[in-house]
Amino acid sequence: MLVLGAFVVAATAFGQTAAIGRTWAIAEPDALSEIEARVTQQPKSVADRFGPREKWSAMQSAALGVARANRKRTVVPFHTLDFEIRLPNGKLLYPKGYTFNPLSYVSMPQRLVVVHPRDLDWAIGQARASDWILLAGGHAETVDPIAIGERISRPLFVLEERVRDRLNLSVAPVIVAQVGQRLEVTEFALERMDAATMNTPAHATNLR
């Protein structure tokens, strides 16, 4: 009986390690080694293929005019569903076309400070630590928001067309803040430097 048990154990151990039938070496290279080899063949940077970053389409801000007068107005950012929402059991919760005010359910703790790049110094002076500074387009100057943000140690954002349209913005500088269940939009008419001053090297340096 002991011999039979030993034979079974030995056979089991042999079965776990032995190969039955013909075997072949793996022809495919190790996936990780192949990836590492290809990485070493790639250039360290592909930025040159895409040109200057400020020219990228993702860096192009929505255009706004220049505020000519101080003005304050309110906006209710209504949203209309373009699809229906149902509960897991199939019961309809909100139909397609349902319109509601998101500010009835959520709050916007930060303000949006929207400026053209030439008014960035003004925005920095106005913005609180929690505020978002958005750069608007519509002028000849092209800037790199990422590079400027790194220089001033503060993140900058581009004004997207959908945000501009949603808030019904037409000019800048403007500060958008939540007041109750509405957004208060305050436009500022700033005193402008003359064209000669705007083209000085010092002013250009501030935008780099």
Which region holds residue 23: left if phi is over 0, alpha if psi is between -120 and 50, else beta? beta
Per the domain annotation, does 155 fall within a domain? Answer: yes
**CB within 8 A of 159, min separation 6: which ones?**
61, 62, 64, 114, 134, 135, 136, 137, 169
pLDDT tens digits, 110-146:
999 999 989 999 999 999 999 999 999 876 666 777 7
- Counted residue by residue, the chain has a size of 208
Question: Can you give the residue range of the structural domain that contains 85?
Answer: 50-206
**Beta carbons within 8 Å of 75's beta carbon, 6+ residues apart:** 167, 168, 182, 183, 185
Determine, yes or no, domain membership for 17: no
Residue 157 in any domain: the answer is: yes
Assign 207 a pLDDT band (cuts: 50, 70, 90). Answer: very low
Report pLDDT for 30: 81
Angle value at C-alpha 170, between 68 and 55, nearest 5 degrees: 105
Residue 168 in any domain: the answer is yes
66: left (phi over 0), alpha (psi -120 to 50) or beta: beta
Task: Classify residue 176: in a domain, yes or no.
Answer: yes
The CATH number assigned to the domain holding 110 equals: 3.40.30
Q: What is the mean pLDDT of the chain?
A: 79
Query: What's the structural domain count of the chain?
Result: 1
Residue 151 pLDDT more than 80? yes
For residue 164, being part of any structural domain is answered with: yes
Give which of 151, 157, 153 is closest to 205, Cα–Cα. Answer: 151
Q: What is the pTM of this model?
A: 0.64
* CA end-to-end span of the chain: 89
Residue 16 domain flag: no
- Report which of 82, 71, 99 is spatially closest to residue 168, judged by C-alpha positions: 71
Cα 26 to its chain centre, rounded Å, is: 44
Q: Mean pLDDT, to the nearest integer, of 34-61?
A: 68
Domain presence at residue 119: yes
Using the predicted structure, report yes or no on whether residue 10 has a pLDDT greater than 80. Answer: no
pLDDT (tens digit per residue) in 87-114: 999 999 999 999 999 999 999 999 999 9
